[in-house]
A = this chain, B = another copy of it.
Amino acid sequence: MGGDHAPAAAVEGAVLFARELVQHQVVLVGDEARVRPLLKGAPLPNLELRHASEVVGMEDAATSIRAKRDSSLRVCFELMKAGDVQAVVSAGHSGAVMAGALLVLGRLRGVERPAIAALLPALKGGGRCLLLDAGANVECRPSQLAQFAVMGEAYVRAMLGVGRPRVALLSNGEEPSKGTSLTREAYRLLSKSDLRFVGYVEGKDIFSGDVEVVVTDGFTGNVVLKTSEGTATAVAGLLRSAIEKAGVGEKLGALLLGPTLAGLKKVVDYAEYGGAPLLGVEGVGIVAHGRSSPKAIKNALRAALQTAEARGHPALRESMGRAAAWLPARSVTGKGATSGPNVD
């Protein structure tokens, strides 16, 4: 029931997924009166509808999921907790996704704050780079960045089949003397870790293919994602307007290049990447973009399936267990450890 095009986009995306992956089951959770008509003549054997009477709206506080016990999001997590589903996808209120996951599923042992991760395209060899936190925690502590590193590394290992992913901290320069007090302390922690920690990288290195995991706080992570989106859009726009102003030869050129430009858009378009995993809770949650199209929802469902099948979650749990050897003991009195999600 969440997202800019709800519930139509979610329903259409689920139908696309169910038609394509007939051996897997999709449960649509939401207001039956609104969802049923959208299914039209598509009663698929592997697509079921589970009624939920409430909705956490974009204008609601993230914590409203506590009171809204029959909200679609809350019911999703209850289904996962009961073992009826193996993963949850939502294009709704991302703060409420986090709050709901924490409330119903709980934190993974050793994790102070779950993070939202974003899988970005990298230039070399069709690679990928996982950026986290992509926006869940605007203010972080060094121990939290270190935990993000552990979770990100485990996720990339499980999901992308990279043996020893390279892990880096995002900073304003490569020298260890750069960064803020936050990044420098996280640097010190990660230097003692058993991860393949390569030190600081700069914003331009995220897409270079030289590292597989880039760790930052949720404020910077969000700014990075939006800046990269804005730059790609600006470059495409400049190209378009230059072509419009150009001569016949160049217009022909653009025509001939059409498929290549479309392919390029596909690589840059995050929708293709199917949502961002929520790492650090006891289960699999995928946060889809609020603007998700049916195709983006389908891809998010694929990512959820892939995470469940690749046993991404057990990998995270195992890694966090091993990391207890070098991670500072979790602060039980600290703000980050006890408060609710600081996203909304």
Contact = CB atoms under 8 A, between A and B. Distances in A.
A139 interface: yes
A259 B246 contact: yes
Given A202-B226, A205-B230, A256-B253, A238 B123 contact: yes
A172 B232 contact: no
B207 A172 contact: no
Given A139-B180, A233-B207, A246-B260, A224 B222 contact: no
B123 A234 contact: yes
Given A250-B256, A253-B257, A224 B203 contact: yes
Interface residues of A, number: 64
B242 A252 contact: no
A241 to B, nearest CB: 9
A243 B257 contact: yes
A177 to B, nearest CB: 6
A180 B253 contact: no
Given A203-B229, A230-B208, A254-B257, A235 B219 contact: no
Contacts of A250: 256-257, 259-260
A312 interface: no
Nearest to A260: B242
A23 interface: no
Nearest to A61: B177
A281 to B, nearest CB: 21
A31 interface: no
- State the copy count for this chain: 2
A131 to B, nearest CB: 10
A185 interface: no
A203 B222 contact: yes
Contacts of A238: 121, 123, 264, 267-268
Nearest to A344: B177
A138 interface: yes
A115 interface: no
A268 B204 CA distance: 14
Which of A179, A235, A239, A263 has the most chain B CB atoms inside 10 A of its CB?
Answer: A235
A328 interface: no
A344 B171 CA distance: 14
A208 B234 CA distance: 7
A256 B260 contact: no
A237 interface: yes
Which 6 interchain pairs have the tightest Cβ spacing?
Answer: A253-B256, A203-B226, A204-B230, A203-B227, A172-B222, A253-B257
Interface of A: 121-123, 135, 138-139, 170-173, 177-181, 202-208, 216, 218-220, 222-239, 242-243, 246, 249-250, 252-261, 263-264, 267-268, 344
Given A206-B230, A216-B223, 19 more contacts: A123-B233, A123-B238, A138-B178, A138-B180, A139-B180, A172-B222, A203-B225, A203-B227, A204-B227, A219-B220, A223-B223, A235-B235, A235-B264, A242-B260, A246-B257, A246-B260, A250-B257, A252-B253, A256-B256
